[in-house]
Structure 1
Amino acid sequence: VGLLPTYDQIGLWAPALLVLCRLVQGFAVAGEISGASSMILEHAPFGRRGFFASFTLQGVQAGQILAAAVFLPLAHYMPTDQFNSWGWRVPFILSFIVIIIGWIIRREVDETPAFTQEGAAKPRSPVTEAFKNHGPDMLRVVLMSLMNVIPVVATIFGAAYAVQPAYGIGFHKDVYLWIPVLGNILAVLVIPIVGNLSDKIGRRPPMIVGSVLAGLLAFGYLYAISIGSVPLAIVMSLLMWGIVYQGYNAVFPSFYPELFPTRTRVSAMAISQNVGTAITAMLPAVFAAVAPPGSTNIWMTVGALAFGITVISAVACFTARETYRLAMNDLGKPEAAPVPEGEYMRLRDEALAQAARA
């Protein structure tokens, strides 16, 4: 992206290439979240999977902080014409460092014992098998993934509502840019705590409570914007997105993979999670349609929609089976029993199959 030619240089090819780059990034991230979550989960010791798998999303939030740490100073201190001309390219070009780090990691990392043990048993078509045998759980993941409505409200519609002149609120853009930065900093601290909690009380409680409370806080956040209170909007955003939403964000990297066996885990999670995420990507247009500039009670209308969607996610989570201690209990083994490396995931997959047949 940083090296793309401009519209003046190649015309319509410039935006076309930009869209292509974004599509490549989208497909990559879509597979990376599920693949990274599954790999961490299958390497993690029994009873600590929620804690270790939460690092996946902690890394996402930390990466966004690093991106902002590069982008915001450039945007603030560079003259506007220079930033618009070439300064915006600097953060993208610096990402070459990430390419090198990622390449080194992928050279050194080993496949998980659970995946290696599949051997010849790996399905020829994981996608087909996922839809055939795990359709109900994939639908649950789609509905639970609608929880992405919260970051949509916080950073996309909320930003438009607060900043765009048509809405008449008048927040300054520089002030509002700090809301996602502060939210991500708080999330980095909260995520491992919630992930660890899910190893003790289960995956569903933090996800359900986080979904419902985040939906309720959406009312307060949008109301704070509607009355033009920057401090209250920041506080409500930090509560809604930086803390409560992490009840979902920290746990789904362990909960989603645990719903599926090794044979189809990455495919089933990636497809269903990204279908739900794609649906939420359309929500800014829906919010703008039902609450356009000039309409009344915008905060109430959008807040009600956001809350309704989070309730759907919470209900879907409630109908899912608890997974954090499934394998050992279902197979009649004490939770503290020593399990050889790689053996745990095989036993857990057998338990999942037995539960599905039941």
Structure 2
Amino acid sequence: MSTANDTGFTPTGTIATTKDRRRVVFATVVGTTVEWYDFFIYALAAGLVFGQLFFAPAGEEFAQILSFLTVGISFLFRPLGAFLAGHLGDRYGRRLVLMITLILMGAATTLVGLLPTYAAIGIAAPILLILLRILQGISAGGEWGGAVLMAVEHAPSKRRGVFGASPQIGVPLGLLLASGVMALMAVIAPGDAFLEWGWRVPFLLSFVLILIGYYIRRRVDESPVFVELAERKEQTKMPIVQLFRKHALLVLIAAFVFAGNNAVGYMTTGGFIQRYATDPAGPVGLATADVLWAVTLSAVSWLVFTALGGWLADKIGRRTTYIIGWILLLVGVFALFPLVNTRSIAMLTLGLIILTVGLGLTYGPQAALYTELFPASIRFSGVSISYAIGAILGGAFAPTIAQALVQNTGGTAAVTWYLAGMVVLGLIATLLLRDRSGIPLGPDHEAEQAQSPIYGLSKA
């Protein structure tokens, strides 16, 4: 029978007490919820007000494309955040990185809420807006990997899917909170008031949420895998160099797994559906508050199916859960716009909920899948960089691409085929990977972890 070490964890990485388990899960969920609330608030505002407030001189249609481009620009800086966080996380620990990313994201978000518009300070306004979005991108690039490893490396081997779903749940919770707060402000400050000041309140609220998240994260111990690496002085000096020298192809395949999910998810988290469905000159023309409430409801559904995806990943394996999820996501993609284009808020809500079934099943298992792909000494770098590259290939410019396709074709059919293509790429990438559910995660098993999980390759 294994005994707990002086950190309170067993050498196999299981948590010594139920209280510790709950603390890790709670801190992971709260921290990632706050982080993604900040990230999504920007995307929602980009779809609803930033085109008018910061890019109006470009003309109505091009201003909206520029607004969505600022959402995508942040993704280009996610790899920088992933590189920095990967190096720090593999050298100095997961917990330190999570504290830094939380503060950086909160500061950038709060400052957006205080930013003067183009009418007040001219070209400096969009420049400052883009710089703050870049800071959000750097933070997001480092946040996810740390949250995932804190959750999964603390978990019992047979429950990694469930534990790994906790940072994943933070994403729909962040969307739920962001959409809910924005919808509330659309009711409290409708019309011109929303443009003048109502949109700023959700950004300023970030300051309070960051304080809460920081307090909770401080109370969580370091990952037991990193503690063991540190005690043995086995941290890799240049983890990123080792990652790309030995695992470059694996990073790319893992990135495409996420890209398929992320491109579809950013139809709502990137603000495209909100803009498309509320545009008074467009084919749908629904009320802003109604659409935001529909997105909020779909976030609840996304949360449920994300949790279910993590649970299923422990029962039937990561790979099988993903395959089922990709098939259901393809169904959701083809159902989405026919339902949205009925101009019925009930049908729009139904379309978004159907979409979340596949989104959840291809997102819930991701934390466990990614963690089990990479060796312990370079795991933070592998997980973070794969995620960041996947975000660029998937969601970075998905709203911009969708907006351009609608404006150039006059309909949404091209958007559907674009999203379907991304889903198929995600499915192919998943089929290329072996399921490594339950593989030991500690430094004693680096040789086993370094064996390539890609079909047809026996060594990393």
Q: Secondary structure at the match of 1:231?
A: helix
Aligned-residue Cα RMSD (Å) equals 2.3
Q: Are 2:283 and 2:341, in contact at CA under 8 Å, matched by a contact in 1?
A: no
CA distance in structure 2 between the partners assigned to 1:79 and 1:175 by the alignment = 12
Cα displacement string for residues 113-151 of structure 1 (whole angstroms, at most 9, x for unaligned residues): 211222322111211111111112101111112121212
Q: Supply the AA of the counterpart residue of 2:427.
A: A
Residue correspondence of structure 1 range 1-358 to structure 2 within 5 A = 1-119=112-230, 120-146=233-259, 147-154=261-268, 156-165=271-280, 167-241=282-356, 243-280=357-394, 281-292=396-407, 295=410, 298-327=411-440, 345-354=442-451, 357=459
Residue ranges of structure 2 left out of the alignment (5+ in a row): 1-111, 453-457
- Alpha-carbon distance change, 3 to 326 in structure 1, aligned in 2, over 3 angstroms: same
Q: Secondary structure at the match of 2:156?
A: coil
> Which deviates further from its counterpart, 214-223 or 345-354?
345-354
CA distance in structure 2 between the partners assigned to 1:102 and 1:228 by the alignment = 39
Q: Supply the AA of the counterpart residue of 2:158.
A: G
- Alpha-carbon distance change, 63 to 292 in structure 1, aligned in 2, over 3 angstroms: closer
TM-score, normalised by the number of residues in structure 2 = 0.68
Q: Supply the AA of the counterpart residue of 1:18.
A: L
Instruction: Report how many residues are paired.
Output: 339
Q: CA deviation at 1:162?
A: 3.2
CA distance in structure 2 between the partners assigned to 1:308 and 1:48 by the alignment = 32
Cα displacement string for residues 66-95 of structure 1 (whole angstroms, at most 9, x for unaligned residues): 233332222212253333333322222221
- Alpha-carbon distance change, 96 to 158 in structure 1, aligned in 2, over 3 angstroms: closer
With a CA cutoff of 8 Å and minimum separation of 6, indicate the structure with the bigger relative contact order: 1
CA distance in structure 1 between the partners assigned to 2:267 and 2:404 by the alignment = 14
Q: Are 1:212 and 1:307, in contact at CA under 8 Å, matched by a contact in 2?
A: no
Q: Are 1:161 and 1:167, in contact at CA under 8 Å, matched by a contact in 2?
A: yes
Residue ranges of structure 1 left out of the alignment (5+ in a row): 328-343
Q: Supply the AA of the counterpart residue of 1:312.
A: L
- Alpha-carbon distance change, 34 to 94 in structure 1, aligned in 2, over 3 angstroms: same
Q: Secondary structure at the match of 1:245?
A: helix
Q: Are 1:161 and 1:225, in contact at CA under 8 Å, matched by a contact in 2?
A: no
> Which runs of structure 1 show a deviation greater than 6 angstroms over 4 or more consecutive aligned residues?
none
CA distance in structure 2 between the partners assigned to 1:259 and 1:118 by the alignment = 18
Q: Aligned residues: percent identity? A: 32
Q: Secondary structure at the match of 1:47?
A: helix
Q: Secondary structure at the match of 1:153?
A: coil
CA distance in structure 2 between the partners assigned to 1:247 and 1:49 by the alignment = 15
Q: CA deviation at 1:153?
A: 3.4
Q: CA deviation at 1:226?
A: 3.2
Q: Are 2:278 and 2:287, in contact at CA under 8 Å, matched by a contact in 1?
A: yes
Q: CA deviation at 1:254?
A: 1.4
Q: Supply the AA of the counterpart residue of 2:159.
A: R
Q: CA deviation at 1:50?
A: 0.7
CA distance in structure 2 between the partners assigned to 1:6 and 1:103 by the alignment = 30
CA distance in structure 2 between the partners assigned to 1:252 and 1:234 by the alignment = 26
CA distance in structure 2 between the partners assigned to 1:83 and 1:230 by the alignment = 21
> Which deviates further from its counterpart, 1-10 or 308-317?
1-10
CA distance in structure 2 between the partners assigned to 1:293 and 1:164 by the alignment = 16
Q: Secondary structure at the match of 1:249?
A: coil
